[in-house]
């Protein structure tokens, strides 16, 4: 168990150089002769020496560790996003430490611990609780990246998908298909993105709503995600004069809505109504849902996040990035029937 680690001193002795020289061999920019470096690295490899990052961190006061906080992996978009984040960070030589934020108290503790590890940065994904958390880090001088989250924090980097364009697109599709009775489905305890999508949807339709040509209901479900959509369908589809076009805050909400509609109320989609989601999850492309949706690309978000982290120390001002979205037409929107 105590198999004494090989240290830079060992390598130094073996190579007949000083510890400083060994140290310099393992950093990018150092005035050191190629020859020496080569020899030292070779010897290091032979004896299996690896720099002790812990010791290095202590003196450089920074690490390759990055905190990623999310409220679990329950939300399917969080899954694809975090997946992308992990691989992107890994490619940059950074290591993500995952924090679950579904339990706020637990999070508080973990966050403190993170700070103790001198994380290079902390990424907070949508859905995770109070931005007071972010503030804590800002005050600790740890750069914060907020993903699809409100921008109350002036000093945080912001990456947001283009909810406005997304919702405008959705509105356009519904109008072109002749839908005049619409609803936006979201949960009461919505994320920032969800709220914004609803607002922009309404905004895109404001003229038609004022003129009375379009009716828009903002539906707030008690629970979030799939179950929320399920609940909404059960309530909304009871009456015969229900909306014909449903715009859901997320694909996951749409799935719940569709499942309830099909399996509980015997509805057909898109014959009985049209529905549009947001995210474009892998599941949305499957035949079972085949959902028309607004795609926000996790890769783009991850890349933008990487950019934020890379510019740490270079840029003084935090970055704000808007990620483009794209309409993915599939099989859940049809022309409204003339009644």
Partner DNA sequence: CTGAAAGCGCTAACAC
Partner DNA sequence: GTGTTAGCGCTTTCAG
Q: Which residues bind DNA (CB under 7 A)?
A: 4-5, 7-9, 16-24, 26-27, 30-37, 49, 51-52, 55-56, 58-60
Residue 276's binding partner, choosing from a second copy, DNA, none, with beta-carbon cut-off 5 to 8 A by kind?
A: none
Task: 126-133: list long-range contacts, CB under 8 Å, 24+ apart.
Answer: 126/78, 126/191, 126/192, 126/193, 127/70, 127/71, 127/75, 127/78, 127/191, 128/69, 128/70, 128/71, 128/101, 129/71, 129/101, 129/104, 130/104, 133/69, 133/101, 133/107, 133/108
Nearer to a second copy, 141 or 240 (CB): 141
How many whole angstroms separate alpha carbon 194 and alpha carbon 228?
13
Closest approach, Cβ 67 to DNA, in A, equals: 19
Q: Does 110 bind a second copy (CB under 8 A)?
A: yes
Q: How far apart are CA 208 and CA 196, in angstroms?
A: 19
Task: Tell me the C-alpha distance between 184 and 197, whole Å.
Answer: 9
Q: Which of 29, 31, 93, 268 binds a second copy (CB under 8 A)?
A: 93
Beta strand residue intervals within 287-334, DSSP E: 292-296, 320-323, 325-328
Residue 264 touching a second copy (CB under 8 A): yes
Please give the Cα distance from 55 to 119 (Å, whole number).
Answer: 14
Site residue total, a second copy (CB under 8 A): 51
Helix, strand, coil in percent for the chain, rounding step 5: 45, 20, 35
In this chain, which stretch among 27-35, 160-168, 232-240, 284-292 interacts with a second copy, using CB under 8 A? 284-292
Tell the smallest beta-carbon distance from residue 65 to a second copy (Å).
Answer: 7
Looking at the Cβ atoms of 99 and 173, the one nearer to a second copy is: 99
Nearer to a second copy by Cβ, of 64 and 307: the residue is 64
**Residue 102 interacting partner from a second copy, DNA, none (CB closer than 5 to 8 Å by kind):** a second copy
Residue 7 near which of DNA, a second copy, none (CB within 5-8 Å, type-dependent): DNA
Cis peptide before 64 (omega within 30 of 0): no
Q: Residue numbers of the site for a second copy (CB under 8 A)?
A: 1, 3, 50-55, 57-58, 63-65, 72-74, 79-80, 82-83, 86-87, 90-91, 93, 95-100, 102-103, 106, 109-110, 112-118, 141, 259, 262-264, 286-288
């Amino acid at each position: 168990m105590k198999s004494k680690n090989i240290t830079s001193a060992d390598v130094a002795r073996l190579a007949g150089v000083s510890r400083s020289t060994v140290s310099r061999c393992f950093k990018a920019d150092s005035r050191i002769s190629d020859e020496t470096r080569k020899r030292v690295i070779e010897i290091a490899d032979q004896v299996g020496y690896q720099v002790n990052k812990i010791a290095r961190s202590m003196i450089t006061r920074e690490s390759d560790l990055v905190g990623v906080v999310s409220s679990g992996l329950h939300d399917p978009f969080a899954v694809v996003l975090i997946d992308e984040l992990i691989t992107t960070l890994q490619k940059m030589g950074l290591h993500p430490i995952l924090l679950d934020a579904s339990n706020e108290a637990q999070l508080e503790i973990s966050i403190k611990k993170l700070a103790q590890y001198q994380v290079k940065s902390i990424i907070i994904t949508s859905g995770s609780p109070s931005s007071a958390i972010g503030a804590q880090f800002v005050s600790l001088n740890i750069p914060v990246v907020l993903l699809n989250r409100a921008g109350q924090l002036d000093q945080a980097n912001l990456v947001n998908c283009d909810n406005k364009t997304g919702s405008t697109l959705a509105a356009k599709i519904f109008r072109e298909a002749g839908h005049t009775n619409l609803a936006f489905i979201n949960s009461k305890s919505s994320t920032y993105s969800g709220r914004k999508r609803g607002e922009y949807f309404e905004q895109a339709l404001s003229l038609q709503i004022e003129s009375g040509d379009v009716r828009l209901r903002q539906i707030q479900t008690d629970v979030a995600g799939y179950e929320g959509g399920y609940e909404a369908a059960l309530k909304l589809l009871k009456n015969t004069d229900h909306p014909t076009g449903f715009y859901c805050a997320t694909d996951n909400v749409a799935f719940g809505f569709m499942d309830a509609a099909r399996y509980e109320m015997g509805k057909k989609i898109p014959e009985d109504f049209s529905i549009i989601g947001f995210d474009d999850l892998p599941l949305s492309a499957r035949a079972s849902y085949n959902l028309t949706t607004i795609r926000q690309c996790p890769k783009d978000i991850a890349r933008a996040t990487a950019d934020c982290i890379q510019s740490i120390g270079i840029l003084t001002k935090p970055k704000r990035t808007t990620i483009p979205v794209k309409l993915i037409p599939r099989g859940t929107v049809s022309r409204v029937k003339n009644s």
